[in-house]
Structure 1
Amino acid sequence: MEFNLRGRTALVAGATYGIGEAPGLSSMDLAARASVDALAQAGLKPGDVDGLFVCTPDDMLSGLTFAEYLGINPRFTDNNRSGGSAFEIYAHTAAMALCTGQIDVALIAYGSNQRSAAGKLVQSSRPSPWESPYRPMNPVSSYALAAARHMHQYGTKREHLAEVAVAARKWAQLNPDAYMRTPLSIDDVMGARLVSDPLSVRDCCLVTDGAAAVVMVRAERARDLTDKPVYLLGAASATSHREIANMPDLTVTAAAQSGRRAYEMAGVKAGDIDVAMLYDAFTINTILFLEDLGFCPKGEGGRFVSDGAIAPGGRLAVNTNGGGLSCVHPGMYGLFLIEESMRQLTGRAGERQIPGAKLAIAHGNGGVLSSQATVILGTEETL
């Protein structure tokens, strides 16, 4: 019998810190500052946390390190490292731990000083006997392979990919915290330096510093900590491969599975969603996830995003903070999807606020389209 998590837990606080450049701060420093800020919003202290969910790009034992850094003794620690999808998986796991009474306060945190420390996109894959002889520039070459296949199979054009980057930049221009806010046109994206054909540098995510943190509790306690809880309505994840050479179909991600199960748990469908936060490490991601999460038929993603359809004022609000393409991408981006969803559902998104937003989907991606994790969040009205 499936255990129903719908509406039984809620996010009560969220914060970001150090978006862009934060020289002199370690990944742990950044994660701690975002965490303390988030906890304070809910009137909590680090010592109140008994469920800790964290990973950083430069510490394989970051769960242990972060507990020590905060001076806490959690009952449950999760250091899952599925890549950028880890944080949506953390939200799912935290909900289960909260609902079964294993923990009372969950802190999900991330921090990275990737820009200050490395200044470039870090190679994400281990040596492979199948791929390494071709000297791919991973992760970008893996995503370029998926983009090229989608273009061949469905007639998707580079202009469609550029629409995704331009839409993200237009949202970023409404977000004072976004790292890249200068104007960007279709021609700018098309004319930018190719990194791995067909992806140009403007089709690729930023390399920034930054941290995010959110706090979760059981639903019955949420109203004591905030006047606007954001409820977890559905969550699911799926893994299809590790290396891109083993992806069953380069045009279909496991988001088709995680999305379907998350919608079923939440009792909603794609057409009900007000805000879609999709992991846009590369422009092809947004197109693939729009298809696989049911916003348009398979193969129609390129045409779906045309003519500013996912930009401010378009038919669907996608990546309203500017996404990984224009707001922030410090190695792993998944937690920023959840934090921005919270902002929209609590009416705290400023100029980019979607009026009356009640339902949001936050979809994380890990590896090279390998791990997919979907979380559906809603206001009290959706319970």
Structure 2
Amino acid sequence: MTDTFPRARTAIAGLATFGIGETPGYSSMELTAQAALLAVADAGLTLADVDALFICQPDDFFAGLSFAEYLGLQPRYTDNNRTGGSAFMSHMAVAAMMLEAGYIDCALIAYGSNQRSNGGKLATKITNNQWDAPYAPIFPLTGYALAAARHMHEYGTTREDLAAVALAARAWAQTNPEAFAKGPLTLEECLSARMISTPISVRDCCLVTDGAAAIVMTRTSRARDLAKPAVPLLGAAAATWWNSIAQAKDVTVTAARESGARAMAMAGVSPSDIRTAQLYDAFTINTILFLEDLGFCPKGEGGRFVSSGAIAPGGSLPVNTNGGGLSCCHPGMYGLFAVIEAARQIRGEAANQLSGVDVALAHGNGGTLSSQATVVLGSLATL
């Protein structure tokens, strides 16, 4: 089967975040709606222009219906894909093809969560898998610890390598006003941090924050005449290899190998063409695995790659330039925030703005390394 995709014929026309950090007094839907309104305004449009809604809320299985009702819209199409943090990249792929087909004209993709102010936690007991439950794993953390331990065993990856991911994220966050976690973080603090599920410690885990994000997509021919620079979608692909990580043939290899290769092929780019990568770093091992599986370094070399300083400020491949899920925000799911940081870099609006960003990649992850989705964004210069 050959992938077909409307390369660069659709684009992000508006984007916004809202309430990152701790925002008491807001429900998840109220946060989402605020980000949505800001994104629509950012594009120079109104809610009347929106005819399709895409959403994946943490606490509402009927979020597509609730979102339409809350905004007072009667959209032609709603989608409530629940693949976790990868859902939003998948939303973009569906929206792009629907826009290209003329089925819709303007898509609003949004997410929000009050996880922190509502007392939420990062880890829970697993209840949705009868095969894993008897072993009492911590969901989702134990699955990531399993992948990290195996990567260490097979490739010599160290806890210092994992710490390098956290340190790079914190370095980026220091100069991002929107980032929730700031202040010094040392290697010694990472290595001495409380262990949760060996070899994953507190410092290897993402934040628990509030926050919302939204983007507006329309056809590039329209977006280029709107209020902000259009950010064309060059490629988008998703892949799912398992639900429970216990079903993985090799826990050191994820479906990002497939989604990334397909998205880059659609975009007509290779890893060397990508100026910055925004990766779903729910845990430090994620960044290492995704760097390998997306082709930025060979399998097994991810630990040494991050420890070389490559992903930190001044490195050869700036990664998670907003601070990522480890130091900027992680309100239950991070995927849409990665997309927005990639788009901001292309627009020239990022807090830690890089020079010459014409191609950026954003990658989402859902479940226990279960669902992977990759998007490649470009500037108008890539058309």
Fold equivalence (TM over 0.5): yes
| Cα displacement (A) at 1:124 | 7.7
Q: Any residues of structure 2 matched to 1:108-257 within 5 Å, and which? A: 108-123=109-124, 125-257=126-258
Matched with 2:80 is 79
Deviation at 1:226, TM superposition (A): 3.2
SS at 1:237's partner residue?
strand
Report if aligned partners of 2:125, 2:138 keep a CA contact under 8 Å in 1: no
Q: Helix, strand or coil for the counterpart of 2:116?
A: helix
The 8 Å contact of residues 123 and 138 in structure 2, kept in 1 or not, is answered as no
Structure 2 CA distance, aligned partners of 1:65 and 1:4?
A: 30
Question: What is the rounded CA distance, in whole Å, between the counterparts of 2:136 and 2:183 in structure 1?
Answer: 33
- In the TM superposition, what whole-angstrom CA distance separates every residue of 1:53-109 from its partner, at most 9, and x where no partner exists? 011100000000000000001101000000000000001110011000111010000
| 3-state SS, counterpart of residue 61 of structure 2 | coil
The alignment partner of 1:88 has SS state of: helix
Which SS does the other structure have where 2:364 is aligned?
strand
Q: 1:124 to 1:15 in 2, by over 3 A?
A: farther
1:258-273, aligned counterparts within 5 Å?
Answer: 258-273=259-274
For 1:283-304, what per-residue CA distance to the aligned partner results, in whole angstroms no more than 9, with x for missing partners? Answer: 0000000000000000000001
Aligned positions of 1:30-45 closer than 5 A: 30-45=31-46
Query: Percent identical across equivalent pairs?
Result: 63
Whether the aligned pair in 2 keeps the contact of 1:240 and 1:248 (CA below 8 Å) is no
What secondary structure, in the 3-state scheme, does the structure 2 residue paired with 1:363 have?
Answer: strand
Which segment drifts farther, 74-83 or 116-125?
Answer: 116-125
Task: Kindly provide the amino acid, as one letter, of the partner of residue 181 in structure 2.
Answer: M
CA contact (8 A) 2:125 2:137 kept: no
Map of 1:66 onto structure 2 = 67
What's the counterpart of residue 319 of structure 1? 320
Q: How far apart, CA to CA, are the structure 1 residues paired with 2:11 and 2:46?
A: 18
Structure 1 residues not aligned, in runs of 5+:
none
Structure 2 residue aligned with 1:366: 366
Deviations 1:177-236 (A, max 9, x none): 000011111111111100110011010000000000000000110122134110000110
SS in 2 for 1:308: coil
Give 1:129 shift. 2.7
CA distance in 2 between partners of 1:2 and 1:195 (Å): 41
- Contact (CA 8 Å) 1:278, 1:362: kept in 2 or not? yes
Letter in 2 for 1:257: E
1:13 aligns with 2:14: yes
Alignment match, 1:379: 379
Q: Where does residue 283 of structure 1 map in the other structure?
A: 284
Q: Give 3-state SS (helix, strand or coil) of 1:375's partner.
A: strand
- 8 Å CA contact retained: 2:276, 2:360: yes
Contact 1:253 1:292 in 2 (8 A): yes
Question: What amino acid is the match of 2:376?
Answer: I
Please give the alpha-carbon distance, in whole angstroms, between the structure 2 residues aligned to 1:182 and 1:382.
Answer: 38
One-letter amino acid of the structure 2 residue matched with residue 10 of structure 1:
A
User: Alignment partner of 1:304: what SS?
Assistant: helix
SS at match of 2:369: coil
Cα distance in 1, alignment partners of residues 317 and 4 from structure 2: 32
The Cα of 1:122 is off from its aligned counterpart by: 4.7
Q: What amino acid maps onto 2:368 in structure 1? A: V
Q: Distance in 2 between matches of 1:347 and 1:41?
A: 15
Alignment check: 8 A CA contact 2:14 2:39 kept? yes
Q: 2:362 is matched by which residue type in structure 1?
A: A
Q: Deviations over 1:29-56 (max 9, x none)?
A: 0000001011011121222210100111
Distance, in Å, in 2 between the alignment partners of 1:124 and 1:67 is: 32
- What secondary structure, in the 3-state scheme, does the structure 2 residue paired with 1:103 have? coil
Q: Separation in 2 of the partners of 1:259 and 1:166?
A: 25
Q: Which amino acid aligns with 1:114?
A: Q
Residue aligned with 1:361, SS: strand
Q: What CA distance in whole angstroms lies between the structure 1 residues aligned with 2:55 and 2:317?
A: 31
Task: State how far apart, in whole Å, the 2-side matches of 1:149 and 1:159 are.
Answer: 16
Q: Could you tell me which runs of 5 or more consecutive residues in structure 2 were left unpaired when the two chains were aligned.
A: none
Q: CA deviation at 1:349?
A: 1.1
- Which amino acid letter does the alignment assign opposite residue 141 of structure 1? T
The whole-number CA distance in structure 1 between the counterparts of 2:120 and 2:65 is 26
Q: Secondary structure at the match of 2:85?
A: coil
State the alpha-carbon separation in 1 of the partners of residues 194 and 239 from structure 2: 34
Query: Residues of 2 paired with 1:122 and 1:161: CA distance?
Result: 19
1:26 Cα deviation after fit = 0.3
TM-score (norm 1): 0.98
From the superposition, tell whether residues 318 and 175 of structure 1 become closer, same or farther in structure 2 (CA, over 3 Å): same
Deviations 1:241-294 (A, max 9, x none): 000110121000000000111111000000110010000000000000000000
Contact 1:47 1:71 in 2 (8 A): no
Displacement after TM superposition at 1:125 (Å): 4.3
Query: Does the residue aligned with 1:84 lie in a helix, a strand or coil?
Result: helix
The 2-side partners of 1:28 and 1:275 are apart by 31
Aligned residues, how many? 382
